[in-house]
A and B are shown apart, each in its own frame.
Chain A
Amino acid sequence: AQSVTQPDIHITVSEGASLELRCNYSYGATPYLFWYVQSPGQGLQLLLKYFSGDTLVQGIKGFEAEFKRSQSSFNLRKPSVHWSDAAEYFCAVGPSGSARQLTFGSGTQLTVLP
């Protein structure tokens, strides 16, 4: 069965600092990987996704993520965080060849200090 682990429940960074949110997955084959962001009272918005090819994926709002098969990781990064990035971030995995079902991690809450 597929699973996703986000080891950091809560991260606090200062505005302008760099950010890295960790995601580790467990899946028997090549997974499809996603990062979503959820602001209070809002639904989930897709930041980026990895299907195949280049392991460094660019997303919206200046985010990027790198797929590392050897480490079963798909960490999310941003070089300079903005106050508006404060939200909850979810990593998700879908079975290769289909987005029909996603398994989500438990999320990382990001606080941005002025």
Chain B
Amino acid sequence: EAGVAQSPRYKIIEKRQSVAFWCNPISGHATLYWYQQILGQGPKLLIQFQNNGVVDDSQLPKDRFSAERLKGVDSTLKIQPAKLEDSAVYLCASRRGPGTLSLGGRNEQFFGPGTRLTVL
């Protein structure tokens, strides 16, 4: 089974520029997450999709960040315009979901390798 794919792996931009990240979840996984991981911190959830609908985007800075999952499969996260403090690793994760946890791990989150963004 292929894992979660993300691209690009690295991106360097100047502040006020725009950037987009792409994520392809594991086949058949209904739930998709975007996390922001700032250096020295744990991942912070930005947005959660269930198929093509948004479940939770309460921590997404909506004035500059946007995300979509139009066909309920792959997803794009965009930052426009970028700020210095957006420098971080952006992680995508997917989960077979929905529903509650089971001991069988049906609802384990699988993470992609991340995109490291540097804003100069």
Contact between A102 and B45, CB atoms less than 8 A apart: yes
Give the size of the chain B interface in residues (CB under 8 angstroms): 30
* B107 is an interface residue with CB less than 8 A from chain A: yes
Cα–Cα, bound, A12→B9 (Å): 29
Contact between B103 and A100, CB atoms less than 8 A apart: no
Residues of A near any B CB (own CB < 8 A): 4, 32, 36, 41-46, 49, 51, 90, 92, 94, 97-107
Contact between B55 and A104, CB atoms less than 8 A apart: no
Give, as a whole number of angstroms, the nearest-CB distance from A103 to chain B.
8
Closest to A98 in B: B100
Query: What total of A-B pairs shows CB separation below 8 Å?
Result: 64
Contact between B111 and A98, CB atoms less than 8 A apart: no
Cα–Cα, bound, A46→B101 (Å): 15
Contact between A100 and B97, CB atoms less than 8 A apart: yes
- Known contacts being A90-B42, A101-B48, is A43 close to B114, with CB within 8 Å? yes
- Known contacts being A43-B111, A43-B112, A46-B108, is A104 close to B101, with CB within 8 Å? no
Contact between A101 and B56, CB atoms less than 8 A apart: yes
Contact between B108 and A107, CB atoms less than 8 A apart: no
Contact between B43 and A99, CB atoms less than 8 A apart: no
Inter-chain contacts of A98 with B (CB < 8 A): 100-101, 107
Within 8 A of A (CB), among B30-82: 31, 40-45, 48, 55-56
Closest to B92 in A: A43
Interface centre among A44, A94, A106, A107 (most CB of B within 10 A): A44
Contact between B91 and A99, CB atoms less than 8 A apart: no
